A and B are shown apart, each in its own frame.
Chain A
């Protein structure tokens, strides 16, 4: 009996290990390749460790690789993305929290229908929005600009952030709100002093979610940005598609890693809250 158990245990852990290796392999290849010189890449094995480690490819990807005619690396794109992501995440999270607070704790006639309609927004494919969104941005004079991109990401992120916060707040007992009302607190005071301090797990989830979505977005970035407001995903695409003489795999890999780094960092720093917050919301909601 115990022997049989051990056999299955080995099978389970073995398959998990194979799956993990399978998924980690590309990261390994990207990382090692980014540290190799072109000579080594051409002659060596894809999986071999770099013989002599060089950061030249990273340097080039960051500041001097060509993305089309312009040869200043990913740096300007990176800062564009930062300028876009920070306000977009902050605004969409804040609005989602307020929406969720209203839809769970200050229900009005028809609020369930409003919530249903917002929920519908989660399922709308973004491609459908491209044309009307372009028109809207033009109307607001925000086309081809970073504020325009922020606006698009806020609008498109609201459905998810509202859903997250609403489901989390449903689990907070209504009696807390009643007690605070009897204590003389109004809508905003209850939100800021009582609800928001209780929201750390769901705030973390939403920030990670929105950060990842917006940082990694390519579609809106390529469609709605101008020459000087392109985000890093577009920069990466341009860099990889610009061929000068030879394909510089090490630079491409370094560039891809630079583009992925912020989301990885956010995930590592706040990852444990992510899973905790997701399950907390799910079980209670």
Chain B
């Protein structure tokens, strides 16, 4: 039995359709990420799961129960908000206790729950403070504590890390993952950050314009994006998109690439079966790490415009077929800006898109 099942959900505000038929099924204990640029409908979908908004059509099942007409408080869910939404006039203990009081949990059990949650999140020493006296990271913990106190069937996180600084974000990300591994509760997590999506998710739903572009495991989505949008959205730096024509040389199907020197033919793997597309213009998708620095004989001569050393890798900004590209190379061999180098594209994992529809063709 699935933990969460969303069937044909649509949502319309006046003339605009925010969600256009969303279908998602996840199993108990899975970590689902809803990711997409702002305005893609992910927060609306989250609100519909929580019951804070109703769908225009479609069904939401939590566990084996249809919850379309169940009030948010009775859905057995807990939510962590982007702004944390801590009650400013109550101290930390009262914040955590509020939901328990409302549910008429006996006092002794309340104290027990608060103690358990406070210990788990290491906020014991903060219980008497008001939210205004806490740092961003502490507020984040309290917000999670409030959700954990409920012991819900489903956790909802609405961009919980967006308001933290970069270092804290990485720390809290790891803690959320640890917490999930320990508690094994089903999680739905909304974010616009593709790194959070990749690192946290068991399943990722990439959304755009109210449609799920692709639903799958992080590795599936990274290695085998369903279309050019997903390919460009997931991964940092983004996948390179190079305009090419499908060509044939000595019986092999491939593409012609040109940097700042002579154009060169590179064969594509046979499994792509591109023979019937001979002569067509396509977009070749290559991730930055699919380039290698090689000696002149094996490589494509490219002029480096900028280098961006990140420490473990150095990013080279260059051009192929007139299009800006980024290559991720080892810093030891990295050329300087203005120099020429030789890049060898690894086409075994290459993907190809239709330039007009942006659909994946191979």
Instruction: Report which A residues bind B (CB closer than 8 A).
Output: 173, 175-176, 178-185, 189, 193-194, 197-198
Chain B: residues with Cβ within 8 Å of the partner, total of 21
* Residues 50 to 83 of chain B near chain A (Cβ within 8 Å): 50, 52, 72-73, 77-79, 81-83
Q: Main secondary structure on chain A at its contact with chain B?
A: helix
A181 & B73 in contact (Cβ 8 Å cutoff): yes
CB-defined A-B contacts under 8 Å, sample of 13: A175-B82, A179-B85, A179-B87, A179-B146, A180-B87, A181-B72, A183-B73, A184-B73, A184-B103, A185-B73, A185-B98, A185-B102, A193-B87
Cα-based distance from A189 to B99 in the complex (angstroms): 11
A193 & B73 in contact (Cβ 8 Å cutoff): no
Cα-based distance from A181 to B87 in the complex (angstroms): 12
B102 & A189 in contact (Cβ 8 Å cutoff): yes
B89 & A182 in contact (Cβ 8 Å cutoff): no
Report if B88 contacts A (CB, 8 A).
yes
Q: Which chain A residues border B98 with CB–CB below 8 Å? A: 180, 183, 185, 193
Minimum C-beta distance from A265 to chain B (A): 28
B79 & A178 in contact (Cβ 8 Å cutoff): yes
B81 & A184 in contact (Cβ 8 Å cutoff): no
A175 & B81 in contact (Cβ 8 Å cutoff): yes
Question: Of all chain B residues, which has the CB nearest A176?
Answer: B85
A178 & B87 in contact (Cβ 8 Å cutoff): no
| Residue from B81, B89, B102 in contact with A197 in the complex, judged by beta carbons closer than 8 Å | B89
Cα-based distance from A232 to B87 in the complex (angstroms): 43
Cα-based distance from A181 to B51 in the complex (angstroms): 10
| Residue from A182, A197, A198 in contact with B73 in the complex, judged by beta carbons closer than 8 Å | A182
Q: Which chain B residues border A175 with CB–CB below 8 Å? A: 81-83, 85
| Residue from B79, B82, B83, B88 in contact with A182 in the complex, judged by beta carbons closer than 8 Å | B79
* Known contacts A176-B85, A198-B88; A181 and B99 CB within 8 A of each other: no
Q: Which chain A residues border B99 with CB–CB below 8 Å? A: 182-184
Q: Which chain A residues border B52 with CB–CB below 8 Å? A: 178, 181-182
A179 & B103 in contact (Cβ 8 Å cutoff): no
B81 & A179 in contact (Cβ 8 Å cutoff): yes
Q: Which chain A residues border B90 with CB–CB below 8 Å? A: 197
Q: Which chain B residues border A183 with CB–CB below 8 Å? A: 73, 98-99, 102, 146
A184 & B102 in contact (Cβ 8 Å cutoff): yes
Q: Which chain B residues border A185 with CB–CB below 8 Å? A: 73, 98, 102
